[in-house]
Amino acid sequence: MNGLVLAIDTATPAVTAGVVRRDASEVKVLGERVTLDARAHAEQLTPNVLGAMADAGVAMADLDAVVVGCGPGPFTGLRVGMATAAAYAHALDVPVYGVCSLDAIGIDTLGEALVVTDARRREVYWARYRDGVRVGGPEVSAPADVPAGALTVAGSPDHAALFDLPRLTPTYPTASGLVRVVGFSQPPEPLVPLYLRRPDAKPRSEQTR
């Protein structure tokens, strides 16, 4: 698929929105806004989308598709991005593609790389990559329980620092990374969030038991 793509990710503290032009030869970012604030997903996503659209000089009606990171990530932030992406796609009658947010980081790595992001509870979300292609994960675990074997690490700076490995530049999902990992040749599948574990909140009936 060629054309203009709106890319959104809220699976990490980075609230990312960008407009990307995709054709047979390249992926070009026309506008991108990123806010680093783990508590501002709901407040910042729409302003970032509108800002990216203005920077790109395009209108909503010009979009041909929407891409959204489906995690893994915390429940609240992840829902904000996925619900927003689905709403835009429905309103514009364009397809929406979900991707693993870690892939949008890992695609810019070389060799045997580990990508990690904050899973809270002293744990990390992680996946393994070989020359930008995922070969393991995504999973969630304590840093000490992540299987060895990677030669470098990328992702959340604070959590990448927990591993005694050379650090790579990619830290958070980018608009370019989100679009480049999509298999546009296939019809989009239903959006499925990668929570990887149950929510902290429990139904009252379960609390009683």
Dump pLDDT digits (tens) for 104-113: 999 999 999 9
pLDDT classification of 198: cutoffs 50, 70, 90: low
Instruction: Identify whether residues 30 and 76 lie together within a single domain.
Output: yes
Cα gap 62→96, rounded to integer Å: 15
Q: Which domain holds residue 118?
A: 102-160
Average pLDDT over all residues of the chain: 93
> Per-residue DSSP letters for 90-159?
HHHT--EEEE-HHHHHHTT--SEEEEEEEEETTEEEEEEEETTEEEEEEEEE-GGGSPS--SEEEE-HHH
Answer yes or no: is 209 within a domain.
Answer: no
Instruction: Identify whether residues 12 and 79 lie together within a single domain.
Output: yes
CA distances from 25 to 21, 44, 63, 188 (A): 11, 32, 19, 22
| pLDDT at 1 (0 to 100) | 77
- Residue 190 burial by CB count (10 A; 0-12/13-18/19+): exposed, middle or buried? exposed
Instruction: Identify whether residues 29 and 15 lie together within a single domain.
Output: yes
Instruction: Identify whether residues 7 and 87 lie together within a single domain.
Output: yes
pLDDT classification of 209: cutoffs 50, 70, 90: very low
- State how many domains the chain has: 2
Tell me the mean pLDDT in the region 156-172: 97
Tell me the mean pLDDT in the region 155-179: 97
Q: Pairing state of beta strands 112-120 and 133-141?
A: unpaired
Instruction: Identify whether residues 89 and 14 lie together within a single domain.
Output: yes
pLDDT classification of 17: cutoffs 50, 70, 90: very high
Does pLDDT of 206 surpass 60?
Answer: no
Instruction: Identify whether residues 83 and 135 lie together within a single domain.
Output: no
Cα gap 58→56, rounded to integer Å: 6
